Amino acid sequence: MQTHIYECAKMTLDFITMMMISRYIFLIPPLKKKENQFINPQFLFITAAYLLILLLCLLGGTIPGSVMIGISMAVYCFLTAEKGKKRWFKTLQFIPIAGLCYGLLMPLETLPATILHLSENAEEIYSIGLYMILGGFLIGFVVGGREWRKNFRKEMHYRKLEVWERVLIYVIGILMYGFVAAVYSYYNINENNFGVIALLESIMMSIIGFAVTLTIIILVLVGNKNAHMQRDLFHMQHNIIVTMADIVENRDESTGGHIRRTAKYVEIIAEELLEEGWYQSVLNKQYIKDMVVAAPLHDIGKIHVPDSILKKQGKLTDEEYEIMKSHTTEGRKLLLHAEKSLGHFSYLDIAVEMAYGHHEWWNGKGYPQGIAEHNIPLCARIMAVADVFDAIVSQRCYKGSMTIDEAYAIIEKEKGTHFDPIVVSAFLKARDRISEALREFEEPLIEDKSTIKK
């Protein structure tokens, strides 16, 4: 009876530990529940796998139970992996997962028994006590760690293992199998013939294996925590940016929808360019993410433009126009100053380029520098299209709005003169998504040309 309790407790702890390592160290997501499913597939899988493991353990001992744990973890890795060529490769994650589990648990199980030369019966009693203590810690985590797990699930979408983390846990996990084999080899050799030196080597290997495994687990968990904190900081900074941009935009009686729409247009255009393979030396997912964050700041320099000019309903004089044009240089100064105060962030670099260059023209007739073509930063060329399009379809104190069709026609007409032709092509190709984004942030549009204020 005692042996059955010992074996079942061991299988239970091994299985729970592997599931936790897969979730919190390897960041494997849970099985997704479909809308028409009554039972949570994650709960169903864990329950069925655990019952099968216990059954095999009771019928055949720890070896069949351990084999079933490995099969269950392999199936779990396969079911949670995205469909594709890498799915079978990701199924092999069960090997380092099991390696880290055994590297963590086996020293706790074997070291005291080895050092104290416990009998088989005494070793089982010790192990049962150990499993009860560790089980208590797990129950404490389940009950007391709800807030941590809630935050973890919320931020898991943004947390990915770095390459060095993934390589490290894979290598250490696989090496731990060698450690497990060495420990078992000790028990399969007559202790009297094993020798003191060999015994010390086994003990040292156990200690090193435990220390290395625990260190790797702590490093990854700290990385998860830092990712969560960085995400919170990012959200806070982004909200501050949008609030500042809203204040500036509202000065000329425009709505906050402008900065949100233009940010969305920028994202759509950039994604279309990325999908078509343009500007690969610059454009990637991180660059797009930074552009979306930076986009609301493109007109931040307008805070230095007087209300008498910003809200003027008639045509600006040459002198007033020069002051209005200064919002590009003033915006650059503000953002460079912010970068000195806040530290270096990649989105601030892009914000500087957008603010300074979104009024440059492809043919070199823009301002403030009069640069042309690829001398204009890509982010500024994308923002130019997004900004002009939204300005055309939006009503302001100094102008009326035009129809969506007219706006698309103007953008296409100025392809190769005002705008980068490749960016315009991507913009027009994504017309449906652009129009949907325009409708998403509700603002009255004038569809009847007879009512348009010229």
Q: What is the value of pTM for the model shown?
A: 0.55
Cα separation, 251 vs 365, in Å, equals 28
Token pair 């990325």 is at which residue? 274
Closest CA relative to residue 103, chosen from 253, 4, 3, 214: 214
Position 345 scores a pLDDT of: 73
Q: Which residues contact 26 (CB under 8 A, 6 or more apart)?
A: 93, 96, 97, 161, 169
Position 451 scores a pLDDT of: 36
Q: How far is CA 57 from CA 10, 62, 228, in A?
A: 10, 5, 39
Q: What is the DSSP string of 7-18?
A: HHHHHHHHHHHH
Q: Which residue intervals of the chain bear CATH 1.10.3210.10? A: 253-451
Reading the block at residue 44, the tokens are 């169903």
Contact 452, 446 (CB under 8 A): yes
Closest CA relative to residue 112, chosen from 102, 101, 124: 124
Cα separation, 384 vs 378, in Å, equals 10
Cα separation, 347 vs 356, in Å, equals 14
Cα separation, 260 vs 274, in Å, equals 21
Position 427 scores a pLDDT of: 95
Burial level of 373, CB count in 10 A (0-12/13-18/19+)? Answer: middle
Cα separation, 359 vs 388, in Å, equals 9
Contact 131, 9 (CB under 8 A): yes
Position 203 scores a pLDDT of: 62
Dihedral sign, CA of 285, 154, 79, 216?
A: positive
User: CA angle, corner 312, sides to 304 and 357, nearest 5?
Assistant: 45
CB atoms within 10 A of CB 139: 10
3-class secondary-structure state, position 399: strand
Closest CA relative to residue 423, chosen from 369, 357, 368, 367: 357
Contact 69, 94 (CB under 8 A): no
Closest CA relative to residue 377, chosen from 277, 298, 293: 298
Position 454 scores a pLDDT of: 32
Cα separation, 275 vs 419, in Å, equals 20
Position 32 scores a pLDDT of: 80
Position 224 scores a pLDDT of: 61
* Mean pLDDT, contiguous 10-residue spans, the chain (454 residues): 78 89 84 75 91 89 88 91 77 88 80 73 82 82 73 64 78 77 60 54 64 72 62 64 67 65 92 92 90 88 83 83 91 84 77 94 94 94 93 66 85 94 94 87 46 34
Burial level of 311, CB count in 10 A (0-12/13-18/19+)? Answer: middle
User: What does CATH list as the number for 253-451?
Assistant: 1.10.3210.10
Position 27 scores a pLDDT of: 83
- State the Cα torsion 255-256-261-266 to the nearest 10°: 130
Cα separation, 409 vs 428, in Å, equals 10
